[in-house]
Amino acid sequence: MSESNVKDCDKIRIKIGGESVEADAGATPLELLQSQNKKPDGVIAAKFNGQLVDLKQSLCENGDLEWLTPHDPEGKEILFHSTTHLMAQAVTELFPNAKLAIGPPIDEGFYYDFDVEKPFTPEDLEQIEERMKERSRDRISVERFTLSREEALDYYKKQNQPYKVELIEDFEDPSFSFYKQGQFIDMCRGPHVPDTGYLKHFKLLQNAGAYWRGDENRPMLQRIYGTAAGSKQELKDYLKKLEEAKERDHRRIGADLDLYSIHEAAGPGLIFWHPQGSRVRNTIETFWRDEHYKRGYELVYIPHLLRENLFQQSGHLENYKENMYSPMDIDGIDYYVKPMNCPGHILIFKTHLHSYRDLPIRYAELGTVYRYERSGTLHGLLRVRGFTQDDAHIFCRPDQLEDEINGVISLADFMMKAFGFEYEMYLATRPEKWMGTDEMWDHATSTLRGCLEKTGKPWKIDEGGGVFYGPKIDVKLFDALGRTWQGPTFQLDFNLPERFDVNYIDSDGEKKRVVMIHRTVLGSMERFMGNLIEHYKGAFPGWLSPVQTVVLPITDAQIPYAEDINKQLRAQNIRCDTDLRNEKIGYKIREAEARKIPVMLVAGKREIEEGTVSVRERGKRDLGVMSLEKAFEHIKTVTQIPKSDL
């Protein structure tokens, strides 16, 4: 079980960091690294002529060699994947009957799925991690080899590893690569580190149930999550970040602040908004509506249920059916709960014949849609089955495209800044599954590219990340921990106008096809709220807070005064509460802090006599005694709604 890449040649020339060196044919990157006078720190793999390779891989042709460390994205992925194998080795040693499934690297670490007799316990994870440390100290050599398809199937059948057998049967490859460290063997493309001694800084984080291949009709497996780093300090910093992320978890904060709930009795992935969460959501929606009216949008509403023929015509049944719910038979006709709003907006547009002078026409809707997500992927507000999109569709002439895209980018920029998010933009190009013509896609992609270039802001390419009807611009926002979330998205579409025969009358009196822009500037209300909660740790800016100020009487004698202040503030559209409980004022202040209320007004005997209040800001900041007029002005400043330049 060995492989050699050595060809019939003697010497090769390898270019490393601008320096060309001569080596024997069959030399490995590891040998070349060891021969360098100035060896880079932390090298774990390499790229040869642009291809990822193991440090032990034999080289027998001229080429460029580039070192990879855990600080490089590809190197980091290799570190994660190698540590996954180390974890799987420890599991199979401690649980010999474990069946191996899959163990990929993920954004911030890795996981491996196992079929075991009983779920792993926290004590099991501690034991597995300790065994991983032992095997790391052993510096076990990691060796690559290949087997033919038949040999690979025979090997895994003899090892009683049914999940690996199934994986091989799903591919038609004539051979498969494997990696061996000690007695542990796993099928894998690689590359991997040369030996287990390269894997020193890792931590197992948790285990959870996961259905095989995400299918709830398949066996439930045990998934162990972990992470790894290139140094002890990097691992420490990451674990600290994880702890901070736990404190910001929107599911915990959402419950603490009584914002929303999910009920098994109603079904997973369906959100129930409580009064406090509804206040925040309504504030966002009102802000959104006002800004859209300013920018020339008209608001529309469409039904939640539409006939099957609309989704056949739009292409959703052909390209998106796996994300749609089963149809309902009504009067012998199939109806679907809508996964998208675009067919409905097209029908509204087509109720009138439009002149070229009427365009652009911009329809916007806070439209609720329903999409099937597997139960194992659901996650609080961030991954749901029913959600409200801040959706809009712009119908325009081809010569208006650039201005309209620029307008959408400007609106998205304002929205992200208003809510306190930094962001980066991506141009997502044609996916594998697409409809239309090459000309349509080339024109749409070049238009979006030109608009991005004119912003003067950095942007990246997301190759193949477009939707089936067109390319798009994706905006990924950063939260307080530097994590990225899907935010606004703008899709340029020449296909649906064709499929629905959507036209306008041009200046020459002829019918011409409109071009459609599909866009959201927040995404979904559910996911955006989840992002906001975690970004601000529940301490929303004053204009978004469900309760913007609370009046705290020191004794019952001040209750009438507190109620009068509350009435005055509510008349000025300030979301105000009173705490009239028979509790000490220190307790009431701590409770208001826990509720993350931006401004607290404390009223005692002296405040009544002087017509004042003692003002405190969230974060235990005491601003002292103020007149009611001055206190009200301060509250208005704290709760001021962001304004655009329009």
Which candidate, 489, 479, 466, places its Cα nearest to that of 412? 489
Query: How do beta strands 576-578 and 260-261 pair?
Result: unpaired
C-beta atoms surrounding 331 within 10 Å? 5
Alpha helices in 64-217 (DSSP H): 73-94, 122-137, 149-158, 162-169
Which candidate, 640, 558, 556, 547, places its Cα nearest to that of 606? 558
Are the C-beta atoms of residues 88 and 190 closer than 8 Å to each other? no
Are the C-beta atoms of residues 17 and 46 closer than 8 Å to each other? no
> Does residue 547 sit in helix, strand or coil?
coil
Whether residue 274 lies in the annotated active site: no
| DSSP H/E element including 539 | none
Quote the CA–CA distance of 68 and 75 in Å, as a whole number. 5
Which residue in the list 89, 181, 222, 389 is annotated as catalytic?
A: 389
Is 465 exposed, middle or buried, given 0-12, 13-18 or 19+ CB atoms closer than 10 A? Answer: middle
Are the C-beta atoms of residues 601 and 553 closer than 8 Å to each other? no
Could you give the C-alpha distances from 516 to 351, 394, 495, 513, in angstroms and in order? 16, 6, 9, 10
C-beta atoms surrounding 201 within 10 Å? 19
Which residue in the list 47, 81, 338, 472 is annotated as catalytic?
A: 472
Whether residue 371 lies in the annotated active site: yes
Which residue in the list 60, 342, 396, 451 is annotated as catalytic?
A: 342
Identity of residue 161: Q
Whether residue 329 lies in the annotated active site: no
Which residue in the list 393, 535, 616, 618 is annotated as catalytic?
A: 393
Quote the CA–CA distance of 517 and 394 in Å, as a whole number. 5
To the nearest 10 degrees (0 to 180), the angle between helices 401-418 and 275-294 is 140
Quote the CA–CA distance of 567 and 128 in Å, as a whole number. 61
Which residue in the list 72, 113, 391, 577 is annotated as catalytic?
A: 391
What is the per-residue DSSP string for 303-351?
Answer: -SEEEHHHHHHHTHHHHSGGGSPPPEEETTEEEEE-S-SHHHHHHHHTT
Which candidate, 592, 501, 494, places its Cα nearest to that of 550? 592
Who's near 491: CB < 8 A, 6+ residues apart?
Answer: 466, 467, 469, 470, 471, 472, 517, 518, 519
Quote the CA–CA distance of 369 and 416 in Å, as a whole number. 23
Quote the CA–CA distance of 161 and 186 in Å, as a whole number. 11
Whether residue 595 lies in the annotated active site: no
Whether residue 581 lies in the annotated active site: no
Whether residue 51 lies in the annotated active site: no
Quote the CA–CA distance of 296 and 410 in Å, as a whole number. 14
- The dihedral built from the CA positions of residue 195, 198, 204 and 207, taken in this order, carries a sign that is negative
Which residue in the list 76, 99, 345, 371 is annotated as catalytic?
A: 371
Whether residue 393 lies in the annotated active site: yes
Cα 153 → chain centroid: 37
Are the C-beta atoms of residues 131 and 227 closer than 8 Å to each other? no
The catalytic residues are 342, 371, 389, 391, 393, 472, 518
